[in-house]
Chain A
Amino acid sequence: MATQDDDTLTGVVPDADIEPTPAELAHARRFAELVDKTLAGRTPPAMSADDRALLEVATVIRATHGSLELAPSRQRAVVEDALRQAIGASAAGPGAVTPIARARRWQRAPWLVAATTTLVAAAAVLMLWLRPPGSGGHAHIAPVPEEWTSRPTDALVGPIAREHAGDASTRIDTIFADRLDGFRARRLARGARP
């Protein structure tokens, strides 16, 4: 069976100038006691739905006015927990609180690693870029032996006398034999690879 108390939130809102009825005054006193108990941490286990709704509204109104404060230990635990989450670690329980100073140190660690490795990489790239020309692996390379190279045959043939102007067959034999020697020498030096 519904009572008047049960209609507190859903019933007709009384005019502000009308004197409260004794029942309303009694309800107000009882609700005030309920609020006091809740603030003292002694919230009754059972209450009506309207009382619970009003109680929640009262709690919110009090919290927004800043008069609601957490215990110092609880405040510290909440802050440390938030900082832990900020640096990527899992939130700890209230018993495992990391000091703020140590947490800040660890928070900087990735940045320090990133800065250091970037500096090392930049130094290595600079070294490669600014190294003097000719300091590479070919600095001490010996030249190819002349007999391995393709080159003019003047030194081999010498001046061609007029009476031998048409002796090209003899000269090509000389040129071929000389270049074959060089070709074979190169192949032997390279392990018989062409």
Chain B
Amino acid sequence: MRYVIAGSWVALAMAAAGCVACSGERDASPPPSTRVADPGDVIDQGLMVALAQAKNFHHKAKVYMSDGNQVAAITAVRQILSLHFPRGAAEADDVRNDARALLAKLLVSQGQLDEAARTIDEGLAQSQRESFFVANLYTVQGEIHEARAAAFDATGDAGKASAVDERHQAIGSYDRSIQINERLQQKLLEDR
């Protein structure tokens, strides 16, 4: 008999819990104006800190460049590549690719064409999506090929074929940059 009574209480408690849950569903209205966003898809403090650091390193590099200290400018820009962005932040790709483009140009100005090409290749390999920054990497890649062509031209007749080949590659890079830009602009127009 005691078991029957205890069972009744348990069943009553279950029924009450079920009713509370059901009434809680009804009480969910009026709907909230905003949902609780996932940490990865909103602008949070982590993203702002990373962007602020990138901004500071860029300004630092700019000061070094205006002072003619390209090596220090390269070091400052390299530090942007090691910044920690929140996981999944789309801005991270864009900021790093822009830094790589600037770094490659600085390396070209220092005559480090192979290092500049490697910097661009790494950026293209790590990019998750097409963007204007990826297109810019191809643009800088074209400039590197042009710089190599000029270097082969300087060697005289022996480097003529290589110079022609580098110029063809430069054209290829510029074409890819143009294609990406066109696709993205078309997409942005459609989204509006």
Q: Which residues from chain A sit less than 8 Å from chain B, CB to CB?
A: 87-88, 110-111, 113-114, 117-118, 120-121, 123-125, 127-128, 131, 135-145, 148-155, 157-160, 162, 165-166, 168-169, 171-173, 175-176, 179-180, 182-183, 186, 189, 194
Q: How far is the CA of A125 from the CA of B143 in the complex (A)?
A: 68
Q: Are A121 and B129 in contact (CB under 8 A)?
A: no
Q: Are B14 and A140 in contact (CB under 8 A)?
A: no
Q: Which residues from chain B sit less than 8 Å from chain A, CB to CB?
A: 1, 4-5, 7-8, 11-12, 14-15, 17-19, 21-22, 25, 28-29, 31-35, 37, 40-45, 47-48, 51-52, 54-55, 58-59, 61-62, 77, 86, 88-91, 93-95, 98-99, 101-102, 105-106, 129, 131-133, 135-136, 139-140, 143, 181, 184-185, 188, 191
Q: How far is the CA of A118 from the CA of B7 in the complex (A)?
A: 9
Q: Are A124 and B98 in contact (CB under 8 A)?
A: no
Known: A110-B5, A121-B11. 7 other contacts (CB 8 A): A128-B18, A150-B47, A153-B133, A166-B106, A168-B58, A179-B91, A182-B43
Q: Are B55 and A172 in contact (CB under 8 A)?
A: yes
Q: How far is the CA of A128 from the CA of B25 in the complex (A)?
A: 10
Instruction: Look across to chain A and name the residue whose beta carbon is closest to the beta carbon of B182.
Output: A159
Q: Are B91 and A154 in contact (CB under 8 A)?
A: no
Instruction: Look across to chain A and name the residue whose beta carbon is closest to the beta carbon of B2.
Output: A88
Q: How far is the CA of A87 from the CA of B4 in the complex (A)?
A: 12
Q: Are A141 and B32 in contact (CB under 8 A)?
A: yes
Contacts of A120 in B (CB 8 A): 11-12, 15, 18
Nearest CB of A to B177, in Å: 8
Q: Are A142 and B35 in contact (CB under 8 A)?
A: yes
Nearest CB of B to A133, in Å: 13
Contacts of B101 in A (CB 8 A): 165-166, 168
Contacts of B140 in A (CB 8 A): 165
Contacts of B18 in A (CB 8 A): 120-121, 123-125, 127-128
Whether A175 contacts B95 in the complex (CB less than 8 A), given A88-B1, A150-B47, A165-B105, comes out as: yes
Q: Are B51 and A172 in contact (CB under 8 A)?
A: yes
Instruction: Look across to chain A and name the residue whose beta carbon is closest to the beta carbon of B61.
Output: A169
Residue from B22, B47, B77, B188 within 8 A of A128 (CB atoms): B22
Q: Are A172 and B95 in contact (CB under 8 A)?
A: yes
Q: Are A176 and B52 in contact (CB under 8 A)?
A: yes
Q: Are B99 and A127 in contact (CB under 8 A)?
A: no
Q: How far is the CA of A186 from the CA of B22 in the complex (A)?
A: 32
Contacts of B181 in A (CB 8 A): 159
Instruction: Look across to chain B and name the residue whose beta carbon is closest to the beta carbon of A126.
Output: B18
Q: Are B90 and A140 in contact (CB under 8 A)?
A: no
Residue from A127, A144, A153, A168 within 8 A of B35 (CB atoms): A144
Instruction: Look across to chain B and name the residue whose beta carbon is closest to the beta carbon of A150.
Output: B89
